[in-house]
Amino acid sequence: MARRATLTRMAELPPPTLRLRLDAEALASNWRALDAMSGRAAAGAAVKADAYGLGVGNVMPVLRDAGAKDFFVAHWSEVPEVATHIPASQLSVLHGPIHSDDADYARQAGVRPVINSIEQAALWLKSGGGPCDLMIDTGINRLGIAMRQIHDATLAGLEVVTLMSHLASADEDSPLNAEQLARFKAAAAAIPAQRLSLANSAGIALGSDYAFDVTRPGLALYGGVPRAEMAGTIRQVAWPQAAIIQRRKLQAGDSVGYNATFTASEPMAAGVISLGYADGYLRCWSGKGALQSGEALLPLLGKVSMDMVVVDLSQAPHLREGDWVDVPYDLPASSRTSGLSQYELLTGLGKRFRR
């Protein structure tokens, strides 16, 4: 057993059959564009969920060097990796201190907790207080101080760096946008803070009234287009590829995959591709999706499996085992085809992709 473990440690892994290229220049360009669209406000960056699935280690140096100075994660567990790239004081944790251990960790690490309730405010003050951010719920009914609580005496003891809220329908022309803006202005008049932040990616496109001092783009940094105003400006960042692991010759009458949802009507070349729902390429692509080789489309045949899809190689008969094919991942187009949100498409990309 010991000998096998030693050999495993010494053996070099063979080349991957999944890879994900990060277009660093597109990422930097997206941040610069969002910063410019933010007007006098400074654009920050949401880097939660491993930088929306693209890898904190890949993304943070690019955003930092492009000029971003405010970063946001959701969980305390995300702090250590992000904080290796920036001063801890530039990082906010959106879920806030639920337990005294959270508050102690925030103070020791030097990051700012985002206070989301009167109870969290009391906990933070009891632990010693200090700089924090404060979330106001202006209509999304997730985290945040309720509007009826903005005059609570507990909040007066907080040292609020960033007073923030989150738009619920910024990707739509909804009356709720203006309602949330008005509520946020009312909260800002009641609670002293060094700066104000309301706009997410879509909110930036709503105009200068929503920008305030700091914007918090996430999706659009990574190639998502939440509003039509951003089309043509935001560039694709994630470029997945998968390898052909077997080439097959189907005969007329041969069925493919689980439940035999595709049956060949004539002889055809097919490729088994190292890509499946365990990698974030979900079953909703079945019957709709196509991979690509150059200009040639390779339609999916049958259902997506956990680790494999099968594609029609009729338009690319030159492809052989070991060749790479592209997984089209223009986020707005992929969202329309798959029915998945652009957020799900990004954050669902699996760990088996070599980034």
Catalytic residue among 48, 52, 303, 343: 48
Catalytic-residue membership of 277: no
Catalytic residue among 126, 258, 288, 351: 258
Give me the long-range contacts of 75-79 (CB less than 8 A, separation at least 24): 75/48, 76/102, 76/105, 76/106, 78/47, 78/48, 78/50, 79/105, 79/109, 79/111
302 CB-near residues (< 8 Å, 6+ apart): 255, 256, 257, 258, 260, 261, 262, 286, 310
Mean pLDDT, residues 237-249: 98
φ, ψ at 2 (rounded to 5°) = -65, -40
pLDDT in tens, 107-116: 999 999 999 9
Asked whether residue 1 carries a pLDDT value surpassing 70, the answer given is: no
Tokens of 89: 């004081």
Mean pLDDT, residues 271-276: 98
φ, ψ at 254 (rounded to 5°) = -75, 135
pLDDT in tens, 61-96: 999 999 999 999 999 999 999 999 999 999 999 999
Mean pLDDT, residues 216-224: 98
pLDDT in tens, 296-338: 999 999 999 999 999 999 999 999 999 999 999 999 999 999 9
pLDDT for 351 equals 93
Beta strands in the chain (DSSP E): 18-22, 42-43, 45-46, 71-73, 91-93, 112-115, 131-137, 145-146, 159-164, 195-197, 214-215, 238-250, 255-256, 262-263, 268-273, 290-293, 296-301, 309-312, 324-326
Asked whether residue 5 carries a pLDDT value surpassing 70, the answer given is: no
Where does the pLDDT of residue 11 fall: very low under 50, low under 70, confident under 90, or very high at 90 and above? confident
Distance of alpha carbon 136 from alpha carbon 165, whole angstroms: 5
The answer for 208, left when phi > 0, alpha when psi is -120 to 50, beta otherwise, is alpha
pLDDT for 112 equals 98
Asked whether residue 243 carries a pLDDT value surpassing 60, the answer given is: yes
pLDDT for 10 equals 72
pLDDT in tens, 147-173: 999 999 999 999 999 999 999 999 999
> Which superfamily does CATH assign the domain made up of 238-347 to?
Lyase, Ornithine Decarboxylase; Chain A, domain 1 (2.40.37.10)
Asked whether residue 256 carries a pLDDT value surpassing 60, the answer given is: yes
Distance of alpha carbon 274 from alpha carbon 105, whole angstroms: 41
For the chain, what's the residue count? 355
Question: Regarding beta strands 296-301 and 290-293, do their DSSP bridges make them parallel or antiparallel, or are they unpaired?
Answer: antiparallel
Tokens of 254: 């041969």
Distance of alpha carbon 209 from alpha carbon 198, whole angstroms: 10
Catalytic-residue membership of 52: no
pLDDT for 110 equals 97
> Which superfamily does CATH assign the domain made up of 24-226 to?
Alanine racemase (3.20.20.10)
Residues paired with residue 354 on neighbouring β-strands, in sequence order: 19
Asked whether residue 6 carries a pLDDT value surpassing 70, the answer given is: no
Distance of alpha carbon 311 from alpha carbon 308, whole angstroms: 10
333 CB-near residues (< 8 Å, 6+ apart): none
Where does the pLDDT of residue 181 fall: very low under 50, low under 70, confident under 90, or very high at 90 and above? very high
Distance of alpha carbon 255 from alpha carbon 12, whole angstroms: 37
Domain borders along the chain are 24-226, 238-347
At CA 287, angle to CA 281 and CA 290, rounded to 5?
A: 60
Sign of the C-alpha dihedral computed for residues 120, 126, 127 and 130 taken in this order? positive
Mean pLDDT, the chain, rounded, equals 96
Residues paired with residue 81 on neighbouring β-strands, in sequence order: none
Asked whether residue 3 carries a pLDDT value surpassing 70, the answer given is: no
16 or 8: which carries more pLDDT confidence? Answer: 16
Distance of alpha carbon 146 from alpha carbon 137, whole angstroms: 5
Element of type H or E holding 213: none
Nearest to 79 by CA among 68, 92, 69, 61: 92
Distance of alpha carbon 151 from alpha carbon 342, whole angstroms: 38
